[in-house]
Chain A
Amino acid sequence: PHLRTFKDHFQTCKVEGAWPLIDNNYLSVQVTNVPVVPGSSATATNKITIIFKAHHECTDQKVYQAVTDDLPAAFVDGTTSGGDGDTKSLQIVERESGRYVEMHARYIGTTVFVRQLGHYLTLAIRMPEALAMAYEESQDLQLCVNGCPLSERIDDGQGQVSAILGHSLPRTSSVQAWPGYTLATANTRCHEKMPVKDIYFQSCVFDLLTTGDANFTAAARSALEDVEALHPRKERWHIFPGSGSRAPRGRGAWSVS
């Protein structure tokens, strides 16, 4: 899937199987990704597990788990909140039944959005920097903190998936079953949803060409909406290719604007 890290690095990764996004003293988030089409290393998320760790008098440990076609509005123990009935320092809010839930952890100033679009899940998290960085050395595998390992990257090392379009797309018999997006039609389709031609737009094009699944257009659109709702710095909402200083690992050329 496409990953936007805490440092605003944008990557497209394989990361098939279960991977930790966050693993600090307050929160653990793990995702499971599965291949989307035969012949491509592209994967998408079909399971999300979130553990809100016990915190003083504010809440007991609460575990949330969503899988494709089962996006509950409750923790695995059946409750919808943590902490005392009055304070509700941790709450799940269902925005769209079975499609979109929000988790508000007041005691750690953290908000999590989980959505299902098509057959796959999306995730967006806002967390105080002081808490996000509160982890032990042994908890170093966190995709949100360090990004994906280089060996797990699908993009060209610069976050740029468009550059490899046409080179990495699967050429299997399943191609014929797709609606048949060309680069031009995918561009048009994505532009309808996302007028700004930023990295979210390019991800949309990549996903359409990779899978032919129009649901990924909506996923890219809502991912951008989540950024606008949760990212604290408006000037960084959009990420554009160009001469920038925010290239991951000292390489590449993405800039935020």
Chain B
Amino acid sequence: CRIQKCTTDFVALTSHLNSAIDGFDSEFCKALRAYAGCTQRTSKACRGNLVYHSAVLGISDLMSQRNCSKDGPTSSANPEVTHDPCNYHSHAGAREHRGGEHSPPSYLFCGLFGD
């Protein structure tokens, strides 16, 4: 149900953060909000998944511990975290971006009419 993807992205976003440097709290909260957004988008498919529910509780705990507001900017370093998985255009855009190209996906047309 893609919860593992949310977690992997969160780890990727935070693994390079150092609590000793300025701005750590802000960046960590951004990553948490992105993680929360990602879990929300998977909520339907993951409704019976214990890992998902653990992640939701864990995010809530971490946000409380770090005094993160629920609203605010989210990390955008990794397009996979912020893209809408149900929007093919953003999906394809991210994929193309990673491939080093910005060309849009190519589309095909089919039509049927008349006799």
Contact = CB atoms under 8 A, between A and B. Distances in A.
Contact of A1 (B89, B110, B114): B114
Given A107-B87, A109-B88, 10 more contacts: A3-B112, A4-B109, A4-B110, A42-B115, A56-B2, A120-B115, A123-B112, A124-B111, A128-B105, A232-B107
**Interface size class of chain B, counting residues whose CB lies under 8 Å from the partner chain:** 20 to 34
Nearest to A230: B109
A57 B87 contact: no
Contacts of B1: 56-57
B21 interface: no
A31 interface: yes
A232 B111 contact: no
Interface residues of A, number: 58
Contacts of A84: 44
B86 A129 contact: no
A5 B108 CA distance: 9
Name the residue among B45, B106, B107 with the largest chain A CB count within 10 angstroms. Answer: B107
A42 B92 CA distance: 40
A43 B113 CA distance: 10
B61 interface: no
Interface of A: 1-6, 8, 21-22, 31, 36, 42-45, 56-59, 83-84, 87, 89, 106-110, 120, 122-132, 143-144, 203-204, 206-207, 210-211, 216, 219-220, 222-223, 226-227, 230-232
A257 to B, nearest CB: 16
A176 B69 CA distance: 78
